[in-house]
Structure formats: structure tokens, C-alpha cells
Amino acid sequence: ADGDAAKGEKVFKKCAACHSVEPGVNKVGPSLHGVFGRHAGTGEGYSYSKLNGEASEVGLVWNDETLMDYLVDPQKFLETYVSSNGGTPDGRTKMTFKLKKEKERADVIAYLKTLSD
Ligand code: HEM
């Protein structure tokens, strides 16, 4: 996508209550250092919901497309992803936050990219 990473760093303040960008520092949510390009559910030392784990098992990787769809409605995205890839969605994600504005999503994703080497 064509987001603006500098703007995305400001949008990230909405995420920072639950997510650190320091490697290995988990809060309510997993560290988002290196999350772009990573397999879902593989943040070190973090205990994910069953649903997030199932999405990982059926192959979910965080990239422009998947993050754009996830951030607008994580529960709906994960359920759809699991069922369209042969799984049976079970339970609820622990991420209840939704980022509705498309521009904010594109910008925060551009920022997340700067945190992956
Ligand atoms: C999970 C991004 C805001 C709580 C995740 C994941 C991503 C993400 C990509 C999946 C990580 C993985 O599979 O390794 C973001 C972004 C946010 C945001 C970009 C802001 C725009 C929040 C907020 C909260 C939160 C505000 C708390 C109120 C969580 C939790 C998980 C999670 C608890 C684990 C989900 C599970 O195990 O089901 N987030 N998040 N997030 N997030 Fe967020």
C-alpha cells in the first residue's frame, strides 16, 4: 500500500496502550517489532488466543493485504481467514480494537514496515 510512515507513527499511539515496538516486549498484546512479513501468532513469549493460533496454522502471514483487512475488524477477518482456508474458527481474538479509517490503516502499516528488518 502507499501509506505514510511518519503519519503512521502518530496513528500508532492508538495501538501503544496494548503494543510495544521494542523486540520481545509484550504488553496486553504482543510486541509488533518485526510483525510485518511475519507468520501470525509467532511473537516470542506471547500467549495468543486460540482463534489467532488457528489462523497461523492455516498459513496467515502479515502483509499489506492481510493487515488492511485485519485492522478494520480483527474478529471478522480471522474467522473468515480460518474458514476460507479449511479450518473451523473457534472462539474470539483478544484484539478488540478496530481501526476503521482506511488512510490510518495504510499509514500505520507503512510504519509497521519500518520495524521489520
Ligand atoms: C494482536 C496490530 C491495537 C490488543 C495484534 C496483531 C496485530 C496487531 C498485527 C497480531 C499479531 C500476531 O499475530 O503476532 C495492532 C495495531 C493496532 C492495534 C496496528 C493499532 C492500530 C490494539 C489495541 C489493543 C490490542 C488498542 C488493546 C486494546 C491486541 C491483542 C492481540 C493483538 C490482545 C492478541 C490477539 C489474540 O491473541 O487473539 N494486534 N493492534 N491491539 N492486539 Fe493489536
ipTM rounded to 2 decimals: 0.98
Asked if residue 31 has its Cβ within 6 Å of ligand 1, the reply is no
Mutate-to-test residue for ligand 1 from 81, 93, 97, 113, highest number of ligand atoms within 8 A of CB: 97
Q: Which domain holds residue 54?
A: 5-113
pTM score, two decimals?
A: 0.97
What spacing in Å lies between the alpha carbon of 6 and ligand 1's midpoint?
20
CATH assignment of the domain containing 86: 1.10.760.10
Residue at 52: amino acid letter: N
pLDDT in tens, the chain (117 residues): 689 999 999 999 999 999 999 999 999 999 999 999 999 999 999 999 999 999 999 999 999 999 999 999 999 999 999 999 999 999 999 999 999 999 999 999 999 999 998
Q: What is the domain count for the chain?
A: 1
Cell numbers placing 91: 472462539
Residue 8 to residues 19, 36, 60, 103: CA-CA distances in angstroms? 14, 14, 23, 9
Mutate-to-test residue for ligand 1 from 12, 14, 18, highest number of ligand atoms within 8 A of CB: 18
